[in-house]
Structure 1
Amino acid sequence: MFNTTRLKVILSIFLVCLIQNSYQSDSIKEKHISAIVSAKWTETPFLLETGEFIFRNYPDVFWKFAKDVSTETNHFSSVDSFNNQTYFEELLKKAAEYISPMQFDLLKLSLSIRTFSPAIEMTRKLAEDALKLTNQDCFTFVDIHGQVTCNVEEILTLIESANMDKKPFTYQFDKHFDFKVKQKQLEQVSVVLYAQIGTQDFLKFHERIIELASKNSKYAIDYILRNNYLPSKDDSEKVALSGYGVELDIKSTEYKAKDDTKYLIESTQELAPLKAWQMQDLSIQAAQRIIDSEPTEALSLLEDLSQNYPIRARPLSKIQVRKDLRKSLKKISSTFESTLNLEPGSGGLYLNGLDMSLDTVDIFSLSSVLKKEAKLLESLSQTGLNVDQVKDLIYLDISSKATDYGVDLRDSSIQWLNDLEKDKKYSYWSRNVHDILRPTYPGMLRSIAKNFFNLVFVIDPAKDASKSLLKTAESFYVNDIPIRIGFVFVTNKNDDGNSDPSVALFRAHNYIKEKSNPIKALAFITDVYAKSPKGQDLTSDLVIKEFKRRFPKEKNLEDIFGPDSDYDEGRKLTMEYFNKIGLKSIPKVFINGFPLSDTEIEQDAFEESVITKIMHLTSEIQMPVYKGEINDRTNIMDWLMSKDVIMPRLNPRVLSQDREYLTINELSDKHKNYVKNLKYLTESDKNDMHLLTLWLVCDPDTERGRQLLYDAINYHESSKMSTKLAFILVKTTDDSTQNSDLIKKVIDYSVNNLNPRQAYKLIKQVIREKNFNDLKSGKKTLDQIEIKKVNEI
């Protein structure tokens, strides 16, 4: 699914053709073709892959697992352990001691598709690169700010002499050791250990680093573990890749060249066309064949029928379908069509009700979703719910909470670079909307002269962050990518282009677009980028200098760049549109109105993000085309912008789907005990069941914290729901004055000794800004603000 500039994954493809040349008149033997897709690296240890899996799911458990498999008496300590069957089974048996049964099944899946093999090979390469810069030659070593040692006794010396300006770059996959006890606010030294768990060397270095971290009073240690292992010297032991398909196209002349004409004749006879009446029930007959098979063979049979359907069609056509199956399939088909929009002939994949798009799903994304669902199921189970209750919760339709919202792109302030439906450039492309249904290779875009995909850049053209985005936009246009491209150039309020580069670029762009065309106007901007210093914003002088070079006959530059420019049309409208759609920062990129994230528009990821997004949006367009909701006369832009999820403004307070959840089941025993003993304020003690539980976490010594307290109490007082409220008070300042804990004491007293109404009144009086300042400064005491009984605090 890669296009233009793509990350190239080099795969070694071995095709083993087992051709049987014997001919028998009574039967035709099948020609078997097997394909193995192998990586460029050799086998990675299953032990390290298991460790990666455990760390991603149970970070705390991983360190115990790593230590246990590295003990002297454990056979996993052998570096030369091969990935053989016996070793694999022993490893699974050991891993089962540390993870849940559900996670154990996912571990087996992960190992079978080698999910973490690339990550392990990457860390081995990092270890290799780290050693290249030194004279060291060892398997287990530490890297401390660029200094490497293979001697465990030298670690302390390197920590004490660490250059703080050379801290290592860390990665998301790094394993940071959690020391639990918070280290003092000291300068942090990063100690990166490259080792293989399951070895004595790992254990020796691991324990030494932990010992130094607990004793060191000068530095705080950030202990990072990265996998390292000795690769096999046998180049034939490559990692077999999963999740990749191999398509083999062989012409008939190539068969004939191998003198296998007989097989071709026989194959032709075997695949003779079926009559129309023989084909009408093939899918139902295939279902009947699978249902009638043994349960242990059902999946294998399904795979065989799916992959060899043409060959299996004739015998399938002879199967008698039972009436009860026809009736059942008819009912199911009707249900699928009404609830899931799945019509006969289409397919779908659903996991616990989640729609897994068949156009984009692969074994790795499926595995990732399985892990998330397993974690959710385990959390629900740990709350004490039974199986039926968990199922009821899983079946709840919460899809509406995952809605993505877009912004309306039908605005005159957007300067469109092209129009696929009108430009001569695309006149030779098909104008039939049904071509969106045409099969293509994964990642290939269909060249259709319809504005199905609209890419809009909201940018300040003078900023460095805009350079790569506009260059990519130009590349999309030049390479005939079927995307309509538009720009919203956000400028400053300054009216003088001689001093403001964004205003200068805006007016130069308008001038060239008017005198020539939008393409040359964009080319001018990218030419200015090419002559600007890397990593710096543009200047007005640079813009005007390039303009003079391109248009030497234009003498009156003041009419173009000055305060009373004739080429300022649309700038105010652009700013109005920018303010209307509710953006807080730029650059932003929208595709069909939906914003791409800041990560997706980074230089290295942008192109891939656009293609991936188009793949996703394509499936949303195909179904309406198939149903006839979109035809050749449909105004595509109006249809796209008429969706319920397209808004005139993106208000993050209203539309944001980002939520942070606290998973209670993952708290430590100490924190669980704290939560268990929280004191709550409730309106009534008669009802133990509360629909809503509120935890307010704040620092009452800060203005924001007091405002949160006030708002929470007001909400709790006015709420018609059965709610309970608890206060979790934290300290974010180093205030050590005499009255620094006064508010906390008042709240503690209120919760433990007063009824809710009295507690609310007391707390609200104390946190009023004037009362708070007077109490804090000592100008007043609690008695002086006329609050009864608070002198007992």
Structure 2
Amino acid sequence: MAAALLLLLCVWPLRCGAPASPKAVTARLAAKWPATSLLLEASEFIAEEDNEKFWQFLETVRELTIYKQRDSEHSYYNLILKKAGQFLSNLQINLLKFALSIRAYSPTVQMFQQPRQQRSGLLLLLGSVAGSGMLNENVPVFILYAEIGTKDFVKFHTVLSEKVQKEEIVYILRHYVQGLPFEGSALFSYQTGSKLHGLTDSSSTVKFLATNDTTEEEDDEAGEVQGFLFGKLKQMYPDLKDNLKDFRKHLIESTNNLEPLKVWELQDLSFQAASQIISTPVYSALKVMKDIAQNFPIKARCLWSLRSTYYRGPCPRRHLMHFGHVVGTSQDVPVNAVLQIQACGTQHCAFSNVQYGVIFSLCDLGPCGSEHGLGGTAGGQHPEEDAARERSNAGPDANSRRKTDGTSPMEGAPHGLSILETLKLEGKVLHGLHDLGIKEEAFSKFMRLQIHPVDDSCALDIRHSSIIWVNNIEKDHIYNKWTTSFQELLKQTYPGVIRQIRRNLYNLVLFIDPVQEHAADFVKQAELFYHHNIPLRIGFVFILNTNEEIDGNEDAGVALLRAFNYVAEESDTSQAFISMINMYHEMKDGEVFTVNHVRNVLRSEFPHADIQSILGVDSEYDEKRKAGVAFYKKTGLGPLPQALFNGVPFNGEEMAAAELDTVILQRITDAMGFFQRAVFMGLLSDHMDAVDFLMDQHNIVSRINPTILGTKRRYINFISTSVPVGVEDFSTFSFLDSQDKSAVISENMKYLTKKDEDVIYAVTIWIIADFDKPSGRHLLSKALKHLKTSSHTRLGIVNNPISKITEDNTAIARAILTAFLTQKNSSLKSFLSKIAKEETAKALARGTKIKKLLVPGMDDSTFEKKYNTIGMDIIQTHQMFCQEVLKLLPGQMAVVSNGRVLGPLDENEFFTEDFHLLEKITFSTSAEKIKSIVREMGISSKHGSDLIMKVDALLSSLPKTVIRQNVEFLKEQHSIVRGRKAAPAASCKYLSPVSKPENLRWHSILPWDCRMCSITRTGYAPGST
């Protein structure tokens, strides 16, 4: 019997990949900072979502720590989630759980733990801060260091909150836990198997330690190996105990034996691994993929024995080419991992049912079993960087790429913090679009919009009459020998050579005050380019004193302009430029430019000239003196000196006189590439004017306004649940949070448009001001002038009174509101234009009745009835919205364009040209693209215009990402493992089933995604046709 048993054991078929005897170990996550309170971490999560909700959350957890002492940790954790659930959506609660599990906000909480005081409630007074954006410009700032949820915190918080309500202080809270140890301690620990794959975090100094808890004497032979229960066998056959022990050892060693494979045996392992994964039922596919990837060395022989002829032939290569094109990689260098979450277009709540997929990159393996493929940025976009990565082997993380919501992949193996940030960002978009009522196909279209401004700098139109051009490349005789054909740009030449073409391709405009200290340096730099025959057209705009009583005998700047005009009339502008250069050469080091320098040059070059008639009060050579100043003010450029190259302003660093020549040469080189592309593409031909071609580009504007063109932007959050409150109900409005306040204002806003047409307007502008003050009426008047020439904009108004609201000091504001509520568009426009005039305000101040100021065509009776009954509640509602949402002081002005807040504004900061610029930037960057999608949805004009405004505010408020891409499968048969299909979002990963070790975290992350977001599975192996 024993011999038969031994024979049976010898011939028993071995199962592929059977596990060895498991060993339990304990994994302990240790960090260089102590464990922090979950309540504090949850508060930081909420503060990052919305600062206003953070303060509301504090009110609900004032003394929550008392439950921590009497309840279990799990109950306390659930209580925190319950409190946070009052201010967070279901998606945000799931993300909060994830953030707490990886202790994402523990370093943030620890960062506040600076003052090492023994008393809780350390209060610091930082003096007075001006312009802090609060309701009072000069108030003391108090910083409270305390632990929220404790009695000591409540005591200080109550007092400080009351002071804030009275607008007496600015209150800042920082976390401080009394008695918190400062040496590193465990954040958490858990039991796990012996294989700790990928348990690292590259974003922090976190370490995982594995400890074997077993002893040498422990009998671990009771488990099953290859189907044999050796514990039972030893009980049944004690006399064969040694033989059974040897046989068990043989089974374990043979199972883990890494037999060498030939090259031809390795080349199809990826296909065979993918085949085994796809042939597995849906619910087990991810487990099989994880098992193969993490145990690939001992699985290799078993995978090779599988026969998967379906994946042989040209099909895999076609799939690699297809996905290489989609994700921007070479067909010979397949990507290893991609995660994508994309809109699928259902009516479910965001992330309530998310679809995910696995896409297998079946790359060949080398003799040593490592992959040849390299990742990197999108192929074709940065070829130099791609080549450098290939030469340097690209580093350990080169084979990992990740996409979220269709964006460009993240490089490197994923870690918890990056996934959390990605899901928070994409969740905000999905949740916001869902709350706005976006459904079906439009959902995906909005997700893929590129609505952030491009990097192209805005340029001014340089075809202005006030610019004095000292040379003309196309007409001056010194450039006669140069070719006039743009084709010269395409001829091969040495790098860095500036091609001499008789065209005004490169234009430099200098704005200078001739008497300023650095004016001579810029004139001498212009002389350098002129005398070396650089193909650069040079122009000047002289910023002078425009007082007509000042003449050239008193002001050196006026004298230079008149002398320049005289020489230009007697000779030409080139000679006048040379004379101007000579005037500055008359100056000695440390001298200031004076009228004598002008006189000396005129006497030497024009001895017979009447200098008094040239420079005196009755001079005939005062042309362009006022025009230059007017043009300079219109452009919106900053302090002098200023320079434009082809209309693009120089920044402050580039205006350094010592570096100006280098900067100009670099600008010429950059512009040369632009013109070369234009000529090659046929956009610029010899019969076209170069300057007109430049000024027809999309980045040409009439005015440079840093407020509009700046990168720091603030947007109103219009995403809110339905709040049935009107603007007349001030008492209820005062209890709403910021999002609900914004929703109420937007839903009840009335608009003025150019014509009485039922159309969708892409740009919505709100004017915020005190219209009973001259500055507010001037801003409204400029907006009305802009509206006369605009077909994309609708205009609304919000009142922000500077003083206490009464009937006497709100007469014009109530008249404007009444007109918006009762009059048609044409009559409203005429009335607003009239009431914005100063004569109207003076008439009302003298006691003139408002009914005498009405214009023909208005509904007089309706207007008078509403005006007498409108009350103060609407204006109070507007004022509270301005102060609590827009963060404006009483009376401050602002402009809101599609939810973007520009302000507070000074009295003379915004002009009609600024409204033109604002509309152009808003329309071309985002509104036009959103409008095209809204039109396809078939929405009414009023609702459609509101939807464009809210979607623009939502998408524009997000950080800029790269172009989103949509992964489409060539064919799903035999390649797709698909679960639930109804999902508003999809997660797509592009990876190799036999991945490198640094990418093994993907196999653990994907099942987690499914659990947290209810993800639907889609797996793809590019072997089908």
State the AA in 2 paired with 1:662: I
Give the deviation of 1:119 after TM superposition: 1.1
2:452 counterpart of 1:401: yes
Q: Which string of whole-angstrom CA distances, capped at 9 and with x for unpartnered residues, describes residues 305-350 of structure 1?
A: 5566556544433444474899996675454344442333332422
Task: Provide the residue aligned with 1:354 in structure 2.
Answer: 407
2:716 maps to a residue whose letter is L
2:32 is equivalent to residue 40 of structure 1: yes
Is 1:206 aligned to residue 206 of structure 2? no
Counterparts of 1:27 and 1:782 in 2: how far apart (Å)? 91
Instruction: Write the distance in 2 (CA, Å) between the matches of 1:405 and 1:493.
Output: 29
Residue identity matched to 2:652:
I
Instruction: Give identity over the alignment, percent.
Output: 20
| Distance in structure 2 (CA, Å) of the matches to 1:169 and 1:289 | 66
Instruction: Kindly state the Cα deviation for residue 237 of structure 1 after the two structures are TM-superposed.
Output: 2.6
Match of 2:101 in 1: 112
> Does 1:189 pair with 2:189?
no
CA 1:203/1:326 → structure 2, altered by over 3 Å: closer, same or farther? farther
Q: 1:787 aligns with which of 847, 855, 859?
A: 855
Contact 1:243 1:363 in 2 (8 A): no
Contact kept, 8 Å, 1:120 with 1:228, in 2: the verdict is no
Per the alignment, residue 228 of structure 1 pairs with 177
- Inter-partner Cα distance in structure 2 for 1:713 and 1:682: 10
| Larger CA deviation: 99-108 vs 654-663 | 654-663
Could you tell me which amino acid in structure 1 is paired with residue 113 of structure 2? R
Contact 2:752 2:795 (C-alpha < 8 Å) held by counterparts: yes
The correspondence of residues 737-752 of structure 1 with structure 2, limited to 5 A, is 741-752=810-821
1:370-399 superposed Cα distances (whole Å, 9 cap, x missing partner): 21221222222222345x36733444x323
Paired residues of 1:196 and 1:227 also in contact (CA < 8 A): yes
Q: Residue in 1 aligned with 2:875?
A: none
The SS at the match of 2:719 is: helix
- Aligned partner of 2:124 in structure 1 is 144
Aligned to 1:662: 716
Does residue 727 (structure 1) correspond to residue 727 (structure 2)? The answer is no
Deviations 1:456-515 (A, max 9, x none): xxxxxxxxxxxxxxxxxxxxxxxxxxxxxxxx9x9987899xx769969x99xx9xxxxx
| Structure-2 residue corresponding to 1:622 | none
Check whether the contact 1:336–1:343 (CA below 8 A) recurs between aligned residues. no
Cα distance between partner residues in 2 of 1:304 and 1:639: 52
Q: Does 1:285 align with 2:272?
A: yes
Amino acid at match of 1:142: L
Task: Give the equivalent residue in structure 1 for 2:443.
Answer: 391
- The correspondence of residues 272-671 of structure 1 with structure 2, limited to 5 A, is 272-275=260-263, 277-293=264-280, 295=282, 298-299=285-286, 302=289, 305-306=292-293, 312-321=299-308, 323=310, 333-344=320-331, 345-347=333-335, 348-358=401-411, 363-386=416-439, 388=440, 391-395=443-447, 397-399=448-450, 401=452, 403-405=454-456, 580=646, 582-583=648-649, 585-587=651-653, 660-665=714-719, 667-671=738-742
Q: Tell me by how many angstroms 1:36 deviates.
A: 7.6
Contact 2:766 2:798 in 1 (8 A): yes
Contact 1:76 1:198 in 2 (8 A): no
Question: If you compute each CA radius of gyration, which structure gives the higher value, 1 or 2?
Answer: 2
Amino acid across the alignment from 1:145? L
Rate the CA distance shift 1:737–1:378 in 2: closer, same or farther, 3 A: closer
3-state SS in 2 of match to 1:191: strand
CA contact (8 A) 1:188 1:222 kept: no
How far residue 226 of structure 1 moved from its aligned partner, in angstroms, is 2.6
Instruction: After TM superposition, give the deviation of residue 103 of structure 1 in Å.
Output: 0.8
Q: Secondary structure at the match of 2:764?
A: strand
Quick check: 2:146–2:173 contact (8 Å CA) kept in 1? Answer: no
Q: Is the CA contact 1:747–1:763 (under 8 Å) kept in the aligned structure 2?
A: yes
Cα deviations by residue, 1:686-736 (Å, 9 ceiling, x for unpaired): 95x745463422324566644553455466566656x754322333x5599
CA contact (8 A) 1:194 1:226 kept: yes
| C-alpha separation in 2, matches of 1:169 and 1:207 | 25
- Alpha-carbon distance in structure 2 between the residues aligned to 1:319 and 1:399: 46
Question: What residue ranges of structure 2 are gaps of 5+ in the alignment?
Answer: 1-17, 190-199, 208-252, 336-400, 460-494, 496-507, 529-586, 594-640, 656-668, 679-693, 721-737, 868-1025
Separation of aligned partners in 2, 1:46 and 1:587? 47
Letter in 2 for 1:392: S
Using the TM superposition, give the Cα deviation of residue 268 of structure 1 relative to its aligned residue in structure 2, in angstroms: 13
Q: Residue in 2 aligned with 1:606?
A: none
Structure 1 residues 77-98: Cα deviation after superposition (integer angstroms, max 9, x where no partner): 67xx99x666545644554454
Query: In 2, Cα distance between the equivalents of 1:211 and 1:703?
Result: 35
2:33 and 2:185 in contact (8 A); partners too: no
Q: 1:751·1:759 contact (CA, 8 Å) conserved in 2? A: yes
For residues 322 and 281 of structure 2, what CA distance do their matches in structure 1 show? 27
Moved more, 50-59 or 197-206: 197-206
| Partner of residue 763 from structure 1, selected from 799, 814, 832 | 832
Provide the residue aligned with 1:672 in structure 2. Answer: 743
Q: Aligned with 1:228: secondary structure?
A: coil
- 2:44 matched to which residue of 1? 52
- Given that 1:401 and 1:657 are in contact with CA atoms closer than 8 Å, whether structure 2 keeps it comes out as no
**CA–CA separation in structure 2 for the residues paired with 1:682 and 1:329:** 58
In 2, distance between residues paired with 1:682 and 1:562?
Answer: 58
- Mapped partners of 1:279, 1:72: distance in 2: 60
8 Å contact from structure 1 (residues 405, 655) kept in 2: no
The alignment's C-alpha RMSD in Å is 5.9
Q: Give the residue type in structure 2 aligned to 1:109.
A: F
Alignment TM-score, normalising by the size of structure 2: 0.41
Q: Distance in 1 between matches of 2:261 and 2:515?
A: 75
Q: Secondary structure at the match of 2:32?
A: strand
State the 1:279 CA deviation.
Answer: 3.4
Give how far 1:123 is off: 0.6
**Aligned partners of 2:409, 2:301: CA distance in 1, in Å?**
32
| In structure 2, distance between residues paired with 1:100 and 1:561 | 68
Q: What letter corresponds to residue 679 of structure 1 in structure 2?
A: K
Give the number of aligned pairs: 522
Work out the CA distance in 1 between the residues paired with 2:818 and 2:746: 18
In structure 2, what is the Cα distance between the partners aligned to 1:637 and 1:694? 36
Change (3 A) 1:328 1:291: farther
Measured in 1, the distance between the counterparts of 2:457 and 2:311 equals 47
SS at match of 2:715: coil
Say if 2:772 is the partner of 1:694.
no
Q: Which amino acid aligns with 1:274?
A: K
Q: Can you list the C-alpha shifts for 1:116-141, whole angstroms capped at 9, x where unaligned?
A: 1111111112x32xx3xxxxx32x21
Residue pair 1:274, 1:314 contacting (<8 A) in 2 also: no
The one-letter code sitting in structure 1 at the alignment partner of 2:145 is Y
Give the match's secondary structure for 1:145.
strand
Structure 2 counterpart SS, 1:698: strand
Match of 1:243 in 2: 202
Say if 1:236 and 1:224 are closer, same or farther in 2 by CA, change over 3 A. closer
Aligned partner of 1:122 in structure 2 is 111
| Alpha carbons 2:62, 2:154 under 8 Å: kept | yes
Cα distance change on mapping 1:402 and 1:291 into 2, 3 Å: farther
How big is the shift at 1:114?
Answer: 2.2
The gaps in structure 1 that reach 5 residues or longer are: 1-25, 132-136, 147-163, 171-175, 177-181, 249-264, 409-450, 452-487, 511-557, 565-574, 590-634
Q: What is the alpha-carbon distance in structure 1 between the residues aligned to residue 405 and residue 205 of structure 2?
A: 30
Higher relative contact order (CA 8 A, sep 6+): 2
- Partner SS state of residue 343, structure 1: coil
Distance of 1:91 and 1:325 partners within structure 2: 55
- Give the 3-state SS of the residue equivalent to 1:71 in structure 2: coil
Query: Amino acid of the residue matched to residue 676 of structure 1?
Result: E
